[in-house]
Amino acid sequence: MNLKVLLNNKWVALLLLMLTFSLIYNPFTKFPFTFCIIILAVLLLSYLQDGNFKNLNFKKIKSSEIKIILICYLILELSMDFIFQPLTSKVFNEPADYSSFKIIENNPHQYFKWLVNMWISAAIGEELLFRGFAFSQFRKLFGEKKILLVFLSAIMFSLPHLYQGISGLVMTFLFGLAFGFIYLKFNNIWINIIVHGLIDTVFLTLSYYGLTDFYSGFNIIL
């Protein structure tokens, strides 16, 4: 059995996904270097499996897709901020815990540092791992069971965000579902990366101005 056949075995594919996911918790690297290693691991394993990166869906952004990116971003930003975030905070009687982002409040140096790190780790790294690579490996295991692929990848996506509390965990899961459906619909990892990056850019900007209470401030509507 050659290496490519072995790596594409469904159980080996699942093991590779679990090992890559476990790199998030490795004790030797910290943010953002952890996801730099994960990005390299995803690229390497994808190439070893297929001899190319086609399963990660790096496709050129067409001019018509710019509108799609903006629409997806606006729908997600508005629905999450004004509906799902306050509803989740109310249901669990607590806002998401964003205290770890206090470090960038009114600190331009930290803000721009986190902004660059976020685009590398969250926008590129998380989308490659939880959408591109996860979908590719889950397809080897389950085939084209699209709802299952989205659901499992959303669970994986939410788990590293436990530090944000139950509300933060639920919100990350909902974002994971949304990102998963965007990936299924448009089949282009760059669309996911840009939409994800725009959302997190707004979040970090609000954190810089000390306005993260914005995300729980609309409970009064409910």
pLDDT per residue as tens digits for the range 170-221? 999 999 999 999 999 999 999 999 999 999 999 999 999 988 776 655 544 4
pLDDT per residue as tens digits for the range 48-75? 999 999 999 999 999 999 999 999 999 9
Rounded mean pLDDT, 150-172: 92
pLDDT per residue as tens digits for the range 4-38? 889 989 999 999 999 999 999 999 998 889 999 99
**Total domain count for the chain?**
1
Q: Which pLDDT score is estimated for 51?
A: 92
Give the structural domain span for 91: 3-221
Place of tokens 């089949």: 187
Q: Which pLDDT score is estimated for 210?
A: 87
CA dihedral for 109, 110, 113, 119, sign (positive or negative): negative
Number of Cβ within 10 Å of residue 141's Cβ equals 16
pTM here is: 0.93
| Residue 133 DSSP symbol | I
Q: Which pLDDT score is estimated for 219?
A: 46
pLDDT per residue as tens digits for the range 122-141? 999 999 999 999 999 999 99
